[in-house]
Amino acid sequence: MLKKYLIAPGPTPVPEKVLLEMAKPVIHHRTSEFEAVFAEVADGLKKVFNTKQDVLMLAGSGTAAMEAAVINTLNPGDTVLVINAGKFGQRWRDICKTFDINVSTIDMDWGCSVKPAQVEEFLISYPETKAVLLQGSETSTTAYHPVEEIAKLIKPKDDTLFIVDGITSIGVHETKFDEWGIDIAVTGSQKAFMLPPGLSFICLSEKAWKFVEESTIPRYYLDLRKEKIAQAKATTAYTPTLSLINGLKVVLDMFFEEGLENVYIRHAVNGEATRAALQAHGFKLLAEAPSNAATGFYLPESIDGGKFVKFMREQIGVTYAGGQDHLKGKIMRISHLGYHDTFDTITGISALEMGLVKFGYDLELGKGVAAAQKILKDYIG
């Protein structure tokens, strides 16, 4: 018997009751029955985003929502600033370039977080900047970026939008969309939202909606003007991902039953425990300002990360994530995302310890587990 554990930063485990909700027979979407579900989840999403604005649902993965953010508010020839601090920063850059937007980047070493002062200086030098695009949590490096501080810098500027990829930060780190002054936030279903992939979310501020009126980039499937009108009537412009939206209803019930604050604490505690465990073994963390979505760390040089991650998944049953691009084979990422609690963290750490020993690396078994337990014990019960 090989039990499977999914401890990678997306897709994440889906709770049994969400799976079962999604396994219920399909209902038609142009019905009062589905409209009631839609209205309920639309309302719940506002609570997660801390906003009075509509959080629109799109049939597509997170990248679809990222593209929607760009093509609905910007224009070819606009100048934007992309914080390029990992694979998903590069994605912001690539999306913008695809649509002939002039991209300046602040390039950070992978694992580093941008400093608000860097953004501030840039905006002083280039006040014509139409948007600053950032990852709340850069999944490839497990770094958290100072979303709140940067939002507050940009909030007073009528001609600049702050666009946040919250794919692994919303539902992990509290995000106060309205209060902080975020202009666009996007996220997807398969991370903190504990659902399979295929549904994404996007929220626009009043300021961003004004940009939408000025934007000329042709768009059809991802046209947010049409979605705004449709979703105000508890439906979507095109066929919605019915089963995911039904599952989302259960997810949001779970969020509110646990309490959103406790959801954030849970991610924080599991993140902290994992970091303590890794540091107990002397492993170097990748992120200087770690995200609570996942923890990346450098594997011992003697370990081939690609082979090790594959071995852990196929022989031990534990799926972590390896590194991407230039960090491929060098780092590993352990997720704390979504339907993940104390004993998932213990499993992840203890499996790592045993796996490394099996791979010939000399370490003290249980040392990381103990360090994690020390933190987790105050959290359970």
Taking the complex as a whole, how short is the minimal distance between the CB of residue 313 and a copy of itself, in angstroms? Answer: 6
Q: List the alpha helices (DSSP H) in 158-241.
A: 177-180, 206-214, 224-232
Which lies closer to a copy of itself via its Cβ, residue 239 or residue 262? 239
Among 45, 48, 55, 64, binds a copy of itself (CB under 8 A): 64
313 lies in the site for a copy of itself, by CB under 8 A: yes
Taking the complex as a whole, how short is the minimal distance between the CB of residue 230 and a copy of itself, in angstroms? Answer: 12
Taking the complex as a whole, how short is the minimal distance between the CB of residue 117 and a copy of itself, in angstroms? Answer: 31
- Crossing angle of helices 342-358 and 260-280, in 10° steps, is 20
Among 244, 269, 285, 287, binds a copy of itself (CB under 8 A): 244
Hey, which residues between 8 and 27 contact a copy of itself (CB under 8 A)?
A: 8, 10-14, 19-20, 22-27
The conformation of residue 187, written as its DSSP 8-state character, comes to E
Among 36, 43, 98, 126, binds a copy of itself (CB under 8 A): 98
Taking the complex as a whole, how short is the minimal distance between the CB of residue 306 and a copy of itself, in angstroms? Answer: 11
Taking the complex as a whole, how short is the minimal distance between the CB of residue 206 and a copy of itself, in angstroms? Answer: 25
Which lies closer to a copy of itself via its Cβ, residue 99 or residue 264? 99
Q: Do 75 and 52 contact (CB within 8 A), yes or no?
A: no
Hey, which residues between 362 and 381 contact a copy of itself (CB under 8 A)?
A: none
107 lies in the site for a copy of itself, by CB under 8 A: no
Q: x-or-dash pattern for a copy of itself, window 184-223, by CB under 8 A?
A: ----x-x-----xxxx-----------------xxxxxx-
Q: Do 165 and 186 contact (CB within 8 A), yes or no?
A: yes
Which residue is associated with the tokens 């230039």?
A: 326
CA quadruple 322, 93, 203, 238: dihedral positive or negative?
A: negative
Q: Do 80 and 104 contact (CB within 8 A), yes or no?
A: yes
165 lies in the site for a copy of itself, by CB under 8 A: no
Taking the complex as a whole, how short is the minimal distance between the CB of residue 218 and a copy of itself, in angstroms? Answer: 5
Taking the complex as a whole, how short is the minimal distance between the CB of residue 220 and a copy of itself, in angstroms? Answer: 5
Among 90, 99, 174, 253, binds a copy of itself (CB under 8 A): 99
Return the HEC string of 50-119: CCCCCEEEEECCHHHHHHHHHHCCCCCCCEEEEEECCHHHHHHHHHHHHCCCEEEEEECCCCCCCCHHHH
CA quadruple 220, 226, 231, 236: dihedral positive or negative?
A: negative
Mention every residue, 6+ apart, whose C-beta is less than 8 A from residue 16: none
31 lies in the site for a copy of itself, by CB under 8 A: yes
229 lies in the site for a copy of itself, by CB under 8 A: no
Hey, which residues between 66 and 85 contact a copy of itself (CB under 8 A)?
A: 66-67
Which lies closer to a copy of itself via its Cβ, residue 217 or residue 260? 217
Greatest distance between any 2 Cα atoms in the chain: 62
The CA dihedral of 55, 61, 63, 68, to the nearest 10 degrees, is -40
What phi and psi, each to the nearest 5 degrees, are found at residue 180?
-70, -30
Hey, which residues between 315 and 344 contact a copy of itself (CB under 8 A)?
A: 319
Which lies closer to a copy of itself via its Cβ, residue 7 or residue 369? 7
C-alpha pair distances (Å), 328 with each of 11, 169, 293, 294, 379:
19, 23, 19, 16, 34
Q: Which residues bind a copy of itself (CB under 8 A)?
A: 4, 6, 8, 10-14, 19-20, 22-29, 31-32, 59-64, 66-67, 94-95, 98-100, 188, 190, 196-199, 217-222, 238-244, 313-314, 319
